[in-house]
Amino acid sequence: MKHASPLPAAPRVQWSTWALLTGLVLLIISSFATLPLKWGDFFSTDAVRTTADFLHGFAPPELSPNFLLKVGTATFETLAMSAIGTVIAAIVGALLALPASGRFGLLARNATRGLLNVLRSIPELVWASILLIAAGLGPFAGTLALALHTVGVLGRLFADAFENCPPLPAASLRVNGAGPAATFLYATLPQCSPQMLSYTLYRWENNIRAAAILGVVGAGGLGQMLKYHLSLFQMQPAATVIIAMLLMVAAVDGLSYVLRRAMTR
């Protein structure tokens, strides 16, 4: 006696899904095939010994009070870079969000959005290395780099917030004879500002992490110290800097977790 299968038939898989999967597998295989990867250098006994020596050089981390003070200053510098960069970006982003939300016509909207996309798609580190020429080595270039990238991100988020804002309050002000500036300041902006503030805080959190590593191209903060000590093969100070980075990021993560919990409760 033949039983019908208790399970329903499996859903048909579309041919395009197969094509995508095949493409994906081909992409992965060709990636490994074409890259000049030197696994031998990484897994040979020689490499294991070099790695062990290298890691051994980190211990113990440099802990002299003088050096710790320097690390503390660099940490503050990193925080300062991220805070100033984010503030500048929030202000400029809000200004650019006005044309980008279609207030000055479709042409201005598309042009500004294009600009914001370019600003956003170039990472902070690339901006920093370009800005070194105009702003010189040091944290100022890093701050500007963070600001430029973040303008792209926040400008677009703010513009979306303005566009999705409920139009009724603004419309009623307009109908009663308020000018466009007053309408924006007293209807649209107050409605969007909580969302804008939370975007800005979120970006600040991201920027702290970004500012920590920005220095490897010479743009100040902890990254610059790390690069400096690593290139002189001073491993123990480098270890301290890496630990400081980890602690800072962990503190920021913890703080933002607590704040988020407190705000959503």
Q: Note the residues at the interface with another protein (CB under 8 A).
A: 17, 20, 27-28, 30-32, 34-39, 41-42, 47, 50-51, 54, 73, 76-77, 79-81, 83-84, 87, 117-118, 121-123, 125-126, 129-130, 133-136, 138-140, 142-143, 209, 212-213, 216-217, 220, 223, 226-227, 230, 242, 245-246, 249-250, 253
Cα distance between residue 146 and residue 83, in whole Å: 10
Q: Nearest distance from residue 214's CB to another protein, in Å?
A: 9
Q: Nearest distance from residue 112's CB to another protein, in Å?
A: 16
Q: Output the CA torsion sign for 36, 40, 42, 47.
A: negative
Q: Nearest distance from residue 133's CB to another protein, in Å?
A: 5
Cα distance between residue 227 and residue 217, in whole Å: 8
**Distant-in-sequence, close-in-space partners of 167: CB < 8 Å, separation ≥ 6:** none
**Distant-in-sequence, close-in-space partners of 57: CB < 8 Å, separation ≥ 6:** 233, 235, 236
Q: Output the CA torsion sign for 196, 198, 199, 204.
A: positive
Q: Which is nearer to another protein, 43 or 104 (CB)?
A: 43
Cα distance between residue 123 and residue 206, in whole Å: 12
Buried b (16+ CB within 10 A) or exposed e, 228-261: bbeeeeebbbbbbbbebbeebeeebeeeeeeeee
Q: Which is nearer to another protein, 89 or 245 (CB)?
A: 245
Q: Which is nearer to another protein, 21 or 105 (CB)?
A: 21
Q: Which is nearer to another protein, 30 or 164 (CB)?
A: 30
Q: Which is nearer to another protein, 17 or 198 (CB)?
A: 17
Q: Nearest distance from residue 227's CB to another protein, in Å?
A: 7
Q: Nearest distance from residue 150's CB to another protein, in Å?
A: 15
**Left if phi > 0, otherwise alpha if psi is -120 to 50, otherwise beta: which for 81?**
alpha
Q: Which is nearer to another protein, 1 or 176 (CB)?
A: 176
Q: Nearest distance from residue 1's CB to another protein, in Å?
A: 27
